[in-house]
Structure 1
């Protein structure tokens, strides 16, 4: 099976978020795809299979579970399809039959994702202690994504967080992850964020696009603007631009292919 490693949300190799992209020529069982994703060990592995023309089925697996949406693995998959075909646009259909529309815009790739609302939530003190957070500016919950959102006041504080991951896992159950965000201290960006998800994937995701299904709307309302620039202050770092348009969010980013090979099934 043709397999690629792609660094997403960056124009530099070994930055951004690495994803594996597997080109399935025939149907694979969920067990096989999960085993491959676990073997590769990236935060996400995407399996894409051509349905017809520029329409593809896409499924996403962490090393632990299947998830319905993933921004950086969608970007990585788009990069490979655009590089190996003459398409200018792609339609992906995920495991929940959600359609994701992708366009090539110069050197960048523009992805259309759905928008999800957030609701109020109480965050237990033991979760904050595990994250190393003393004070919150706001907190929300995305039920569609099963992700807790915590806003803090300082981008430098966000960059310096060093979570206790065993304590974090034990601080909450029934979620996929916790997103910590702060308003930017740089004129080049509107907000910063980091995503921790030891419940469902790896301890920290280097760059996360799927959370923009609710994070862009969160900051768009707070900052009263629909076009935003985001910075993920993980060790590898990554950047993206987003735009909120009613029930859609557009995510614009770049990707770099770093490996091409064959996975032996």
Structure 2
């Protein structure tokens, strides 16, 4: 990984950590107004993580954000947005009480809560996947591995494919054919496969893993936008009516992470722990 000293404008935060080695790092460039798209993607490739770039506000928003993974630009990245909001607060640059952020997927509202930063997501939408055989095949799963729920495409910002498995043991044992994931995702209009298991239905606690379509790395330790899609999809199915859903991710990778999704009416809020890994915060 590059060291922050090579670019004092880059901070690296870690988001959603739930134990030693956990969380999902995100490099953040606080002033990217002079950077080209190529430079943004190259920085993401150097750090090998989703990266956020802060730009002047548009559409009446306080700031704009662009997001890149090593292979391409993304419309929205939940953990990088949370990390940016936390960093702006830490530096005394966050207007109170809320911050509006323009992204390619729409306007996001951010606020600081007792649990840390939280960002809004629109109402979720989901559709059933009629023929999930190719999805199961690329994940190395059988129909007998599934929970009695449908495979669905769900989204608040980016479409993720929710694959319900019957136990945490099945979830942890998944060993995908990574070479086939992009083709399967393209065929169903998805940006990643998100197998999950219900850990505690009454407490709305879930475990999940994310295998992105084509980000430049095979698995993601904590995916906020997938967690909001999952929570929204399960509410629409009536699996849970809880206003607070907890998703554990990354444990199969040795990077334990915890994502919290809270509902207020149809709108959901994404939140989680943030800490600084690299950079000078005075």
Q: TM-score, normalised by structure 1?
A: 0.87
Equivalent residue number for residue 253 of structure 1? 272
Query: Are 1:153 and 2:166 counterparts?
Result: yes
Map 1:35-184; keep pairs closer than 5 Å. Answer: 35-42=42-49, 44-51=50-57, 55-85=62-92, 87=94, 88=96, 89-96=98-105, 98-135=106-143, 136-137=146-147, 138-142=150-154, 145-173=158-186, 174-184=189-199
Query: Are 1:6 and 2:23 counterparts?
Result: no
Alignment counterpart, residue 222 of structure 2, candidates 207, 210, 221? 207
Deviation at 1:123, TM superposition (A): 4.1
Deviation by residue 1:114-167 (Cα, 9 ceiling, x = unmatched): 223010113443431221211233201137624322111112211222222113
Does the residue aligned with 1:157 lie in a helix, a strand or coil? helix
Deviation by residue 1:208-240 (Cα, 9 ceiling, x = unmatched): 001234211122231222221221144212112
Which region of structure 1 is more displaced relative to structure 2, 11-20 or 181-190? 181-190
Q: Which has the higher helix share?
A: 2
Deviation at 1:31, TM superposition (A): 2.2
Deviation at 1:86, TM superposition (A): 5.3
In the aligned structure 1, how far is the partner of 2:273 from the partner of 2:183? 36
Residues 187/239 of structure 1: CA separation in 2 closer, same or farther (3 Å cut) = farther
Alignment counterpart, residue 39 of structure 2, candidates 21, 32, 52? 32
Does the residue aligned with 2:125 lie in a helix, a strand or coil? coil
Aligned-CA RMSD value: 2.6
In the aligned structure 1, how far is the partner of 2:34 from the partner of 2:64? 11
Deviation at 1:170, TM superposition (A): 4.4
Contact 1:155-1:185 at 8 Å conserved across structures: no
In the aligned structure 2, how far is the partner of 1:212 from the partner of 1:248? 14
Does the residue aligned with 1:115 lie in a helix, a strand or coil? coil
Q: TM-score, normalised by structure 2?
A: 0.82
Query: Are 1:194 and 2:209 counterparts?
Result: yes
Count of residue pairs brought into register by the alignment: 259
Does the residue aligned with 2:80 lie in a helix, a strand or coil? helix
Contact 2:228-2:268 at 8 Å conserved across structures: yes
Residues 11/192 of structure 1: CA separation in 2 closer, same or farther (3 Å cut) = closer
